[in-house]
Chains A and B, each alone.
Chain A
């Protein structure tokens, strides 16, 4: 399960709208607690794939090092990443899977259609090695200030 507050959830989706028709990307800082990745902050990152930004993203490792440092200073870990799929469903692609190496982390994808954020899904990268890794759809729980919880239930299915 991925837990985050409404502000962070909205910010992730807004980022995808702002960079449309290019893919946005960013890092989720927070804590892993049992079965859940609890997000405390979403840090925007630059997409270095300027050669093909409409359908590819890459975060510079140096930027990741700095974000990891910021997280450490705040007592937070990298618990996930997000990116957008302009005019494409919010489903992981073979490219997403091949390039996913942060086992135990959440990969959030927002579909952005004609500049407007649509579906947002999260996929947990499960497994213990590169050889047995798999994406599993995970529930996103958005905590709103004015209500107890808005829970988006998603069927959990194991997919490779």
Chain B
């Protein structure tokens, strides 16, 4: 399946905007991504191993935090994961 990497994290994915991994669940896909590109790990996860609060991961158009089975959600080759840091602010 494809994992789409946002511009700021491509420094850590050998400049790739999309990384292809073999996985059967969301969790496996993220593990495969950080195995291929270990430098991504600290940018995605806190020291406790949880996704950083400002890092959003979408399975197609669904936030994985709100999927009933979260990281255990099954995926197929046609699915895509998108990593999207949040964007917010104000005066």
Contact A61 B63 (CB under 8 A): yes
Q: How far apart are B4's CB and chain A's nearest CB, in angstroms?
A: 7
Contact A102 B85 (CB under 8 A): yes
Residues in B whose Cβ lies below 8 Å from that of A128:
11
Asked if B74 CB lies within 8 Å of chain A CBs, one says no
Contact A57 B63 (CB under 8 A): no
Main secondary structure of the interface of A (DSSP, over half): mixed
Q: A152 to B86, alpha carbons, bound, how many Å?
A: 29
Asked if B78 CB lies within 8 Å of chain A CBs, one says no
Q: A78 to B42, alpha carbons, bound, how many Å?
A: 22
Residues in A whose Cβ lies below 8 Å from that of B87:
25, 27, 58-59, 64, 81, 99, 101-102
Interface residues of A in 77-113 (CB under 8 A from B): 77-79, 81, 83, 85-86, 88, 92-93, 95-97, 99-105, 107
Contact with A along B78-91 (1 / 0, CB 8 A): 00001011111111
Interface residues of A, CB < 8 Å — how many? 42
CB-contact partner of A78 in B7, B54, B61, B89, under 8 A: B7
Contact A85 B91 (CB under 8 A): yes
Interface residues of B in 34-91 (CB under 8 A from A): 42-43, 54-56, 58, 61, 63, 82, 84-91
Contact B88 A58 (CB under 8 A): yes
Nearest CB to that of B87 among chain A residues? A59
A interface list, Cβ under 8 A from B: 23, 25, 27, 32, 49, 52, 55-59, 61-62, 64-66, 68-69, 72, 77-79, 81, 83, 85-86, 88, 92-93, 95-97, 99-105, 107, 128-129
